[in-house]
């Protein structure tokens, strides 16, 4: 498991904010989540906590899930993880196992906490290519975890970031074609908000 210096720094910051962010909607993941710096503005009616760390993988998030996410007693959990797993050539089955373990941990801590799993958005970074079949396998596995009766929903970011013909809507991606643009975060928010509202009132 990779551990970089900035990850330790991020987790120290998370620890310092833990009291003020109790009971938040917690967003957990890698740089795609960490880059959503406008969370509080985009979701003004609910407290939010961003627990994304650049470079993280599903195993790393699983390792820190208890302290960084569950100890906040989250109002809801939004999870997007796995793009770095694909870059590291990890098997989709292993990533899915780690995601399932996090869902199980959350359920054991609080059976009623709403959970939103997000599929991975498309990417077209020349230095970080991804095999389409592996991305499709991982996203299919994430979608299969949906269990509305247990408060587990899926937001399909891959579908939200592609056109009707299946081509990537590049306006949603940053210039590196790996991370998200401001328009990409707005798009994520637009498809997430109604799902989150439904789970919290259901």
| Domain range summary for the chain, segments of one domain joined by + | 5-121+132-154
Quote the CA–CA distance of 74 and 166 in Å, as a whole number.
35
Q: Note the pLDDT tens digit of each residue in 103-114.
A: 999 999 999 999
Three-class secondary structure of residue 137 per DSSP: helix
Q: What is the pTM of this model?
A: 0.93
Q: Note the pLDDT tens digit of each residue in 161-176.
A: 999 999 999 999 999 9
At residue 180, φ and ψ (nearest 5 deg) are: -100, 150
For every residue of 167-189, DSSP letters joined together read -B-GGGB-TTSSSB-HHHHHHHH
**CATH number given to 5-121+132-154:** 3.40.50.1110
Sign of CA pseudo-dihedral 171, 159, 92, 103: positive
CB-neighbour burial class of residue 18 (10 A; exposed 0-12, middle 13-18, buried 19+): middle
């Amino acid at each position: 498991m990779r551990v970089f210096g900035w990850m330790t720094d991020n987790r120290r910051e998370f620890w310092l904010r833990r009291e003020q962010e109790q009971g938040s909607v917690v967003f957990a993941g890698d740089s795609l989540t960490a880059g959503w710096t406008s969370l509080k503005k985009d979701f003004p009616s609910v407290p939010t906590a961003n627990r994304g760390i650049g470079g993280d993988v599903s195993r790393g998030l699983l390792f820190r899930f208890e302290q960084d996410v569950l100890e906040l007693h989250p109002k809801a959990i939004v999870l997007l993880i796995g793009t770095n797993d694909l870059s590291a050539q990890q098997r989709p089955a292993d990533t899915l196992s780690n995601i399932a373990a996090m869902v199980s941990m959350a359920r054991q801590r609080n059976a009623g906490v709403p959970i939103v799993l997000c599929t991975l958005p498309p990417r077209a970074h020349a230095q970080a290519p991804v095999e389409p079949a592996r991305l499709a396998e991982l996203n299919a596995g994430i979608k299969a975890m949906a269990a509305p009766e247990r408060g587990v929903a899926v937001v399909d970011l891959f579908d939200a970031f592609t056109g009707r013909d299946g081509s990537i809507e590049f306006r949603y991606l940053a210039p590196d074609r790996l991370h998200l643009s401001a328009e990409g975060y707005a798009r994520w928010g637009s498809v997430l908000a109604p799902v989150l509202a439904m789970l919290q009132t259901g």
